[in-house]
Amino acid sequence: MAALSRTVSSLSRRPQLQGLQSARQMSSLFGHVEPAPKDPILGVTEAFLADQSPDKVNVGGVRLPLRTPSSIPRSLAAGAYRDDNGKPLVLQCVREAERRIAGNLNMEYLPMGGSITMIEQSLKLAYGEDSEFIKDKKIAAVQALSGTGACRLFADFQKRFLPDSQIYIPTPTWSNHHNIWRDANVPQNKFTYYHPESRGLDFSGLMSDIKNAPDGSFFMLHACAHNPTGVDPTEEQWREISHLFKAKKHFPFFDMAYQGFASGDPERDAKAIRIFLEDGHQIGCAQSYAKNMGLYGQRVGCLSILCDDEKQAVAVKSQLQQLARPMYSNPPVHGALVVSIILNDPELKNLWLQEVKGMADRIIGMRTALKENLEKLGSPLSWEHITNQIGMFCYSGMTPEQVDRLTNEFHIYMTRNGRISMAGVTSGNVGYLANAIHEVTKPK
Amino acid sequence: MAPSHVQPGAPQEPSADRRLSTLVRHLLPSSPRRTAAEDSSATLESSPTMASQGCSVFAGLAQAPEDPILGVTVAFNKDPSPNKVNLGVGAYRTEEGKPLVLNVVRRAEQMLVNDPTRYKEYLPITGLADFNKLSAKLIFGADSPAIQENRVATVQCLSGTGSLRVGGEFLGRHYHERTIYIPQPTWGNHVKVFALSGLTVKTYRYYDPATRGLDLKGFLEDLSSAPTGAIVLLHACAHNPTGVDPTIDEWEQIRQLMRSKSMLPFFDSAYQGFASGNLDKDAQSVRMFVADGGELLMAQSYAKNMGLYGERVGALSIVCGSADVAGRVESQLKLVTRPMISSPPLHGASIVATILKDSEMYHEWTVELKAMADRIISMRQQLFDALKARGTPGDWSHIIKQIGMFTFTGLTSEQVAFMRQEYHIYMTSDGRISMAGLNAKNVNQLADAIHAAVTQLK
């Protein structure tokens, strides 16, 4: 026993360890692992952080790491909301909810399906306060790891129970959508969405692709504030899409990451979903509280699937839980507590509604300001799309070369597809931004 | 075109005609003169109750069985008996049978809430950097050469489950040997986690029912006949469900055999500090494997030892042969987690980091942790004494020999069912009881139940 103890302790002190380690370096079991490509969005942040210019502006919509140096004057990091001083914002209703939690509530495991009260409130937001589907218990719903987790659970569920199905994803979309369905091993197809020439919706292309898809196809639709274009169908267009879906028996899966954040009114932002529900569709829905409650890092969301009846909803929920268990067992409690405290308390809920409207209004205000500034500068181009588009992002229509000039000459950072995160625009930098955009886009 | 199929009472929108004709054009481009009324394929039903007419694409789906472990709590909750006892899930309970939030955790949480400069922004994909570094130090030791040489890639994950799954997925994609050997028995969720990661799951002998101890001979034999390079899951301490751990001698034999066959250790550490009451002692097995310079995976959980259960706090560390490999490995781990969760949750990791980086709070944690471990050790003794006092047939010394939160009682599933039925005692059907659920008030009820089960059902 003593000899063995000596062996054990000598292993940690032995000088030959060097030789052993070199041997290990050559024979690492992971020596063949390739470096992964850099994330196309996060790479923008890295460049931004390295830029020494005091004028630099980040409208890349990236997620900065938690420790953003305060020396960056107007941090436009977004993909996360910023206030008019360029600072991240914690909602008052959230702070109050956290005050109530700290010191009072325990941290026991949630059930596999997550917080029941959070789910109930989430369904009301998405399906309507008085939804008969909620009353009749026809909706299978589980708490998920924000929008990503909800989409992933749905993709895994789709793979397991409809293994021959595919998913139609709009062009363009949030890049992680492709990763999610790919990792779930669900084949992907693209459908037409954005119309570059008008910087709006390619509605006839969209309808054509819906029609040409085989009957019963699965489509992923952005419920509001399309990411990255900010281009949403009108209510009328949504109705036509819904009717065509009905005829084709397609399954609509809604990714709703911006309810309340788009127009400032959660009911209005859920209109597309409500139209589909009225038309009798079976739908799936991913909800996220990352933006509309500013809960980004808490990872709170909900996945729901409308079923024929209560029995089926119970079965579907049980199967969703079977997918969650080997991924994370049960979802995190803190963010769910924050959401349920806010939505269950009428005063806090009202405060939230005001605060989310405040965020949406500021962004809408910045859209107007940016457009007006460009017009005042005498830009001959049309900038209508800045105010036609909605939500956090604006697809400016600038070319990669123009974006590069913005970065190199003006220290303005955005993704090379010309996407501007409006959340990062402030009254302090909108003039500078407009000037720079005008400079790189004006005819020679 | 009269929209005759529009539901009575629905608002007659002026654009209804236009909508229908648009639709017909899309569906029947070659027959523009057909009307909706004539062509049934253009007929729409706008009934809001369509979903109730049984057209769900998931109509054939069966209800999943209850989870064998979490289902125990579900059944327990349904039981109306005032005397019911839940010995199912491994969640610590106080002497009063209440869940416990550690004082130091409450303090940390309060500090976070009171700090107005704190935001809730997304963490990086790999999680909270401080948390990752401190977690690696906690399990590998602050002076670990692997850490000092930057050979450790760590990503924050959703507690132990999340860490195991991310590690499994990584191996499924990047490791040449797709078989993982797990001990017999093991935590019920291990099989599913690794199967969904794309690995083939095999078992190695571990528990010897005859001795209620370790079957080292079987363990070593099974690993010897496993392929070179196979992945081997090891419980770092406080084996779940048996509570049977190898001694240091035995670990050394295991280590030598594994390294001689280039096998890849995948440690699951869910109970560091909870087993013996000492964090370093409970990490000895892991540190032996790091000390020999070799590579390994480590799934760490703070669910039990910091009582953070529902916050889902954990970390996956991969000890690599070089810093360069570790960098590449980390980049690939991000590709696994991004399409699962994008980035991990902030709250629990912030609490852990707050505690681990403050020496006074760290010390307070070790004191509270030891108190939990000590209470469990005391319950082991109380249960053993109670059975002895009743003269319950059989050797019950394993109750005090086994380590950690669980005791593998050796009860059969019939005996377990009997105890649930007659005595409202809930445990998993493999006879595993969570000692944390015991206290001075219910230990006699349990002893009575065991006694009855063992004497009435052979």
Spatial neighbors of A132 by CB under 8 A, at least 6 apart, are B48
Task: Please state, in angstroms and rounded to a whole number, the distance separating the CA atoms of residues A95 and A86.
Answer: 20
Shortest CA distance to A307 belongs to which of B57, B46, B44, B65?
A: B57
Structure tokens at A127: 């399906």
Shortest distance between the Cα of B109 and any Cα of chain A, in A, equals: 6
Please name the residues between 64 and 93 in chain B that touch chain A, using a CB distance below 8 Å.
64, 67, 70, 89, 91
Structure tokens at B70: 């979490």
Number of H helices, E strands in chain A: 18, 13
* DSSP per-residue letters across A53-66: -TT-EE-S-----S
SS3 at position A211: helix
Asked whether the beta carbons of A219 and A254 are under 8 A apart, the reply is no
Choosing among B287, B312, B333, which should be mutated to test the A contact, i.e. which has the most A CBs within 10 A?
B312
Q: How many CB atoms lie within 10 A of CB A3?
A: 8
Task: Please state, in angstroms and rounded to a whole number, the distance separating the CA atoms of residues B37 and B432.
Answer: 67
**B412: Cα within 13 Å, side-chain hemisphere:** 9
Q: Which CATH architecture has domain B70-100+373-456?
A: Alpha-Beta Complex (3.90)
Task: Please say if the pLDDT value at position A428 is more than 60.
Answer: yes
Residue-level pLDDT at B28: 41
Which residue matches tokens 């529902």? B310
Please give the torsion angle defined by the CA atoms of residues B55, B58, B63 and B67, in that order, rounded to the nearest 10 degrees. -150
Task: Please say if the pLDDT value at position A213 is more than 50.
Answer: yes
Least CB-CB distance to A247: which of B23, B159, B288? Answer: B23
Residue-level pLDDT at B53: 46
Least CB-CB distance to A297: which of B27, B249, B346? Answer: B346
Shortest distance between the Cα of B385 and any Cα of chain A, in A, equals: 31
* pLDDT tens for each residue of A139-149: 999 999 999 99
**What band does A5 get if pLDDT is binned at 50, 70 and 90?**
very low
Choosing among A328, A333, A392, which should be mutated to test the B contact, i.e. which has the most B CBs within 10 A?
A328
Task: Please state, in angstroms and rounded to a whole number, the distance separating the CA atoms of residues B69 and B188.
Answer: 8
- CA A273 from centroid of its chain's CA atoms: 17
Asked whether the beta carbons of A298 and A143 are under 8 A apart, the reply is no
Task: Please state, in angstroms and rounded to a whole number, the distance separating the CA atoms of residues B335 and B342.
Answer: 9
CB proximity B417 to A under 8 Å? no
Cross-chain Cβ contact B249/A106 below 8 Å? no
Active site residues of B: 187, 268, 304
Q: Would you call the peptide bond into A196 cis, given omega within 30 degrees of 0 as the criterion?
A: no
Q: Where are the domains of chain B?
A: 70-100+373-456, 122-357
Please name the residues between 306 and 365 in chain B that touch chain A, using a CB distance below 8 Å.
307-312, 318, 320-322, 325, 327-329, 331-332, 334-336, 338-348
Active site residues of A: 174, 255, 291
User: Which stretches of A27-145 are DSSP H helices?
Assistant: 42-50, 92-101, 116-127, 132-135
The residue ranking higher by pLDDT, B437 or A42, is: B437
Task: Please state, in angstroms and rounded to a whole number, the distance separating the CA atoms of residues B402 and A314.
Answer: 39
* Amino acid code (one letter) for B233: L
Shortest CA distance to A394 belongs to which of A194, A151, A190, A168?
A: A194
Shortest distance between the Cα of B121 and any Cα of chain A, in A, equals: 5
| Torsion over CA: A337, A343, A349, A354 (sign) | positive
Residue-level pLDDT at A407: 87
Cross-chain Cβ contact A107/B70 below 8 Å? no
- CA B7 from centroid of its chain's CA atoms: 51
Cross-chain Cβ contact A297/B195 below 8 Å? no
Least CB-CB distance to B91: which of A109, A216, A334? Answer: A109
Q: For chain A, what percent of residues have pLDDT higher than 90?
A: 75
Least CB-CB distance to A247: which of B44, B59, B70? Answer: B44
Number of H helices, E strands in chain B: 17, 13
Contacts of A243 in chain B (CB under 8 A): 19-20, 23, 44
Angle B130-B136-B138 (CA atoms, 0-180°, nearest 5)? 100
Which residue matches tokens 């694409």? B57
Contacts of B27 in chain A (CB under 8 A): 211, 244, 247
Shortest distance between the Cα of A302 and any Cα of chain B, in A, equals: 13
Structure tokens at B368: 């509270």
Shortest CA distance to A276 belongs to which of A306, A231, A311, A320?
A: A306
Element spanning B362, H or E: helix B359-390
Spatial neighbors of B296 by CB under 8 A, at least 6 apart, are B264, B265, B266, B267, B286, B289, B290, B318, B319
* DSSP per-residue letters across A309-374: SHHHHHHHHHHHHHHHHHHHSS--HHHHHHHHHHHHSHHHHHHHHHHHHHHHHHHHHHHHHHHHHH
Residue-level pLDDT at A40: 64
Least CB-CB distance to B26: which of A27, A28, A211? Answer: A211
Residue-level pLDDT at A52: 72
Global pTM reads 0.88
Phi/psi at B44 (5° precision): -120, 145
Per-residue DSSP letter, B297: E
Task: Please state, in angstroms and rounded to a whole number, the distance separating the CA atoms of residues A164 and A260.
Answer: 35
SS3 at position A305: strand
Task: Please say if the pLDDT value at position A429 is more than 70.
Answer: yes
* pLDDT in 10s for each residue of chain B, 458 residues: 333 343 343 444 444 444 444 444 444 434 344 343 333 333 333 333 344 445 788 888 899 988 888 788 889 989 999 999 999 978 899 999 889 999 999 999 999 988 888 777 889 999 999 999 999 999 999 999 999 999 999 999 999 999 999 999 999 999 999 999 999 999 989 999 999 999 999 999 999 999 889 999 999 999 999 999 999 999 999 999 999 999 999 999 999 999 999 999 999 999 999 899 999 999 999 999 999 999 999 999 999 999 999 999 999 999 999 999 999 999 999 999 999 999 999 999 999 999 999 999 999 999 999 999 999 999 999 999 999 999 999 999 999 999 999 999 999 999 999 999 999 999 999 999 999 999 999 999 999 999 999 999 87
- A352-361 b/e (C-beta count within 10 Å ≥ 16 → b): beebbbebbe
Asked whether the beta carbons of B415 and B453 are under 8 A apart, the reply is yes
Contacts of B22 in chain A (CB under 8 A): 207, 240
Task: Please state, in angstroms and rounded to a whole number, the distance separating the CA atoms of residues A387 and A371.
Answer: 7
Least CB-CB distance to B193: which of A25, A297, A326? Answer: A326
Which residue matches tokens 């293994």? A163
**B255: Cα within 13 Å, side-chain hemisphere:** 26
Residue-level pLDDT at B117: 80
Cross-chain Cβ contact A148/B341 below 8 Å? yes
Nearest CA in chain B to A209: B26
CATH of B122-357, one of 3.40.50.1820, 2.60.40.3950, 2.30.110.10, 3.40.640.10: 3.40.640.10
Phi/psi at A190 (5° precision): -105, 150
Residue-level pLDDT at A28: 82
Please name the residues between 12 and 31 in chain B that touch chain A, using a CB distance below 8 Å.
15, 19-20, 22-23, 26-27
- A310-319 b/e (C-beta count within 10 Å ≥ 16 → b): eebbebbbbb
Average pLDDT over residues A276-297: 96
Asked whether the beta carbons of A167 and A220 are under 8 A apart, the reply is yes
Cross-chain Cβ contact B57/A30 below 8 Å? no
Lowest mean pLDDT among A224-238, A346-360, A420-434: A420-434
Which residue matches tokens 């079976």? A282
Contacts of B340 in chain A (CB under 8 A): 145, 148-149, 152, 183, 327
Cross-chain Cβ contact A308/B51 below 8 Å? yes
Asked whether the beta carbons of A202 and A172 are under 8 A apart, the reply is no
Contacts of A290 in chain B (CB under 8 A): 122
Task: Please say if the pLDDT value at position A129 is more than 50.
Answer: yes
Shortest distance between the Cα of B37 and any Cα of chain A, in A, equals: 14
Residue-level pLDDT at B235: 98
The residue ranking higher by pLDDT, A411 or B298, is: B298
